[in-house]
Copies of this chain bind each other. A is one copy, B any other.
Amino acid sequence: MKDFGNFKNVLIIGLGLIGGSLALSLKNEGFKGKIYGFDLNKERIKKASELNAIDEGFDKFEDINWQDIDLVILATPVKTFENIAKQIKPFLNKDTIISDVGSVKGELVLKISKILQPNIFLGVHPIAGTEKEGIENAVIGLFKGARLIITPSENINQDILKRIEKFWKDLGSKVEIMEPYLHDFVFASVSHLPHAVAFALVDALINLSKETGIDLFKYPGGGFKDFTRIAASSPTVWKDIFLENKKDVLHTIDEFIKSMNKLKEAIEKEDEDKILNILSESREKRLSLEKS
């Protein structure tokens, strides 16, 4: 039975693409409780009300009826979490659970947990989103069929973990559990690094165009367009992710530059075996993903 982990009413802080999609999806999947929305931007609150995504919207924490809320979800850029946690702490009911939908966990989960205790914070990362921004691009069912990682700290209350799991499963997400630090390394590698690479690739083409006076963006064939779709992702969101997950991101960028230099040197030396070796190993790995 769909009970969304038995939460009564939920407050979503941040009515952007993810927050807005969450509100709309909850309504659409039959969540019975009230959905409150918070955003500093009044236009977004208006838009969320018009879309019937929220029952009530606020732009000041003191205006909210906190007694009524047993689940708070942070859906703002991860960089704002610490500040928001400090601001809402005085208002929280003792049983209210705080969660999020951010892409960075690790250290951040520990930090936010510490600020909010004795209230419990449970990190959640839905692998969902588009390269668009804002509630006007919110998608009903964005989390349906999507993978979602919950990153409990060591001594988490198992009952609460189960409730948050149920909340997202009832929205159709495929839930996995992962240790917060492992999460950050894995996503630095498979998501943050590819984004950094895509941004740098477009940057290189801008510079090559300037340098030669040839507008390379007139020739989007040959794989380039697909390849850099993710370079259209939100600059603010990604700046924050790169900085919040700085250690792991730099580690993976270094490893990538090593690989890039290895290939470059093999081309320079016309070392056919080495080039073939790099390309074949990559191809094999990539093809093994198709099967999974």
Contact = CB atoms under 8 A, between A and B. Distances in A.
A253 B265 CA distance: 11
A278 B239 CA distance: 10
Interface in A55-89: none
A108 interface: no
A232 B191 contact: no
A207 B259 CA distance: 9
- Number of identical protomers: 2
Given A191-B223, A204-B256, A208-B252, A231 B283 contact: yes
B187 A279 contact: no
A37 to B, nearest CB: 27
Report whether over half of chain A's contact residues are helix, strand or loop; otherwise say mixed.
Answer: helix
Nearest to A182: B214
B195 A223 contact: yes
A246 B267 contact: yes
A254 to B, nearest CB: 8
Contact of A190 (B186, B189, B219, B232): B219
A202 interface: yes
A194 to B, nearest CB: 5
Contacts of A212: 185
A114 B283 CA distance: 36
B203 A263 contact: yes
Contacts of A252: 204, 208
